Chain A
């Protein structure tokens, strides 16, 4: 029986240290895609930045990360990449607080296509994490981002392979707030309940593989990947 685990996706953390500037830029974009929401929320809550400041700082942080080759300096033997990145954000936020003049928005740097208003909406009702909870908060937001990216991957995969019904079931049952019975789902989607079982199983199988592939790409080392996978899904990989 073949494993559903996909071939190892190259680590974008490793690519962030590439000598090739294009590879480096692409890697940074991928890192930013996974981390910009957690970073923005973290700045808003942990550093109590105003909305506009947090937007600016998130933009600046990733732009400067490219210019200063910040991620190339990451040493996987010392910390997890997520911890390293959060430490960098903390350091950057401290410097920003000291700086009298804020960097102008955009200033020739890479512009991240982030819908900050939606990220802002997600902050409603979220408690401000104190120093002790900061890492947990950042990890939680990172997980949310990781799962969201995997859902996007699954949607694209299903669309590409003509499995829209599979994704629709997954979206309705696993992402929805209320869960209907398989029989009800079958009626709603025009398929048998047994098909609902099989379609959902397929979608979850693919989702799992995509989630682990995403996770792998965002880890700086195999050891980090194994630790994250163990914590995330309780699995040994």
Chain B
């Protein structure tokens, strides 16, 4: 073989690694992100004439169970038809042996990027509520996400909120050996790249999740203890990250919500995501939250804050009346 110059060498490396899309209706447009086992591409659906996201097993020679993991992930997603979960369009095998699935191509920043853009706490908590809805929906279908973190949450250009990367998802109490799919390994759109600070841990057969967001039962590798409350813990960690991201002081009631969500013992946490979401909503609306028994003074302060405007108006009215009365008396 003659001399392969650097440009040819790089081209060969690229084409050798690219999925073989011949005999499919898709054309790869560009690579969006790459992980250890899966790569996400922007692709064009030639038949329907629309852009899609393709998640493809990175290599046909990949670990034998990688294909099965991706298939399971696609099936899990397909079961979860919800506005907060990216819909799957199609699944298939490529001529080179790789499995792929096609899904809606979503464009938008990840939650961690939204927070960097000086988003207000109220906006972040609105997003949190949408995340809770999607996760609660998954729980209702007996699917636990297991890797909830800011990098796995995307905010679309129309304000829609999507929970991504269901690669670790499985039913409650399912052992690692059965569901040890890698997530967080992939990203931007629709799957955010592994965050340098929050890489998903994938020690085979032991711990799966992301440090800082992983529940104690996940950290211990106790798969039998993993259930929907594992996601409650991770949501608590996301909430903690959110309220800290704005740099404002954290109110005691919010700190109590986070503490309850992130309790070490699952039985001490919110027992359902809906209860966590309800407390966060109550906090936003300045109502009492179940996680924090407030004193009389705190209640007064909260009510005063909540009804600040009408109270000011009433006070202003009363002051005006007093002034008027005094003025009339002085004249008479």
- Least CB distance, A64 to chain B, in whole angstroms: 27
User: Does B4 lie at the interface of the complex (its beta carbon under 8 Å from any beta carbon of A)?
Assistant: yes
User: Does A207 lie at the interface of the complex (its beta carbon under 8 Å from any beta carbon of B)?
Assistant: yes
Q: Known contacts A4-B60, A5-B60; is A201 also within 8 Å of B20 by CB?
A: yes
CB atoms of A205 and B95 under 8 A apart: yes
CB atoms of A236 and B16 under 8 A apart: no
- Least CB distance, A222 to chain B, in whole angstroms: 13
- How far is B9's CA from A140's CA once the two chains are assembled, in angstroms? 10
Contacts of B18 in A (CB 8 A): 204
CB atoms of A208 and B16 under 8 A apart: yes
Shortest Cβ distance from B59 into A: residue: A235
CB atoms of B97 and A1 under 8 A apart: yes
User: Does B36 lie at the interface of the complex (its beta carbon under 8 Å from any beta carbon of A)?
Assistant: yes
CB atoms of A204 and B3 under 8 A apart: no
Which of B3, B20, B62 is within 8 Å of A235, CB to CB? B62
User: Does A159 lie at the interface of the complex (its beta carbon under 8 Å from any beta carbon of B)?
Assistant: no
User: Does A113 lie at the interface of the complex (its beta carbon under 8 Å from any beta carbon of B)?
Assistant: no
Contacts of A155 in B (CB 8 A): 1
Contacts of B280 in A (CB 8 A): none
User: Does A164 lie at the interface of the complex (its beta carbon under 8 Å from any beta carbon of B)?
Assistant: no
User: Does A191 lie at the interface of the complex (its beta carbon under 8 Å from any beta carbon of B)?
Assistant: no
User: Does B249 lie at the interface of the complex (its beta carbon under 8 Å from any beta carbon of A)?
Assistant: no
User: Does B215 lie at the interface of the complex (its beta carbon under 8 Å from any beta carbon of A)?
Assistant: no
Shortest Cβ distance from A152 into B: residue: B1
Contacts of B142 in A (CB 8 A): none
CB atoms of A5 and B61 under 8 A apart: yes
- How far is B23's CA from A201's CA once the two chains are assembled, in angstroms? 10
Contacts of B66 in A (CB 8 A): 236
CB atoms of A232 and B13 under 8 A apart: yes
Contacts of A237 in B (CB 8 A): 59, 61-63
- Least CB distance, A76 to chain B, in whole angstroms: 20
Per the CB 8 Å criterion, the residue count for chain A at the interface is 37
Contacts of A174 in B (CB 8 A): 8, 11-12, 15
Which of A3, A121, A204, A207 is within 8 Å of B97, CB to CB? A3
User: Does B34 lie at the interface of the complex (its beta carbon under 8 Å from any beta carbon of A)?
Assistant: yes
User: Does B37 lie at the interface of the complex (its beta carbon under 8 Å from any beta carbon of A)?
Assistant: yes
Contacts of A212 in B (CB 8 A): 61
- How far is B66's CA from A143's CA once the two chains are assembled, in angstroms? 27
Contacts of B210 in A (CB 8 A): none
- Least CB distance, A218 to chain B, in whole angstroms: 16
Contacts of B8 in A (CB 8 A): 174-175, 177
Contacts of B16 in A (CB 8 A): 204, 207-208, 211, 233
Contacts of B60 in A (CB 8 A): 3-5
CB atoms of A2 and B59 under 8 A apart: no
- Least CB distance, A209 to chain B, in whole angstroms: 9
A to B CB contacts below 8 Å, 30 in the list: A1-B97, A4-B61, A4-B96, A147-B12, A148-B2, A151-B1, A155-B1, A174-B12, A177-B7, A201-B20, A201-B21, A201-B95, A204-B15, A204-B18, A204-B20, A205-B20, A208-B17, A211-B16, A232-B13, A233-B13, A233-B16, A233-B17, A235-B58, A235-B59, A236-B58, A236-B59, A236-B63, A236-B66, A237-B61, A237-B63
Question: Which A residues lie at the B interface, using CB under 8 A?
Answer: 1-5, 118, 121-122, 140, 143-144, 147-149, 151-152, 155, 174-175, 177, 197-198, 200-201, 204-205, 207-208, 211-212, 229, 232-237
Question: Which B residues lie at the A interface, using CB under 8 A?
Answer: 1-4, 6-9, 11-13, 15-18, 20-23, 34, 36-37, 58-63, 66, 93-97
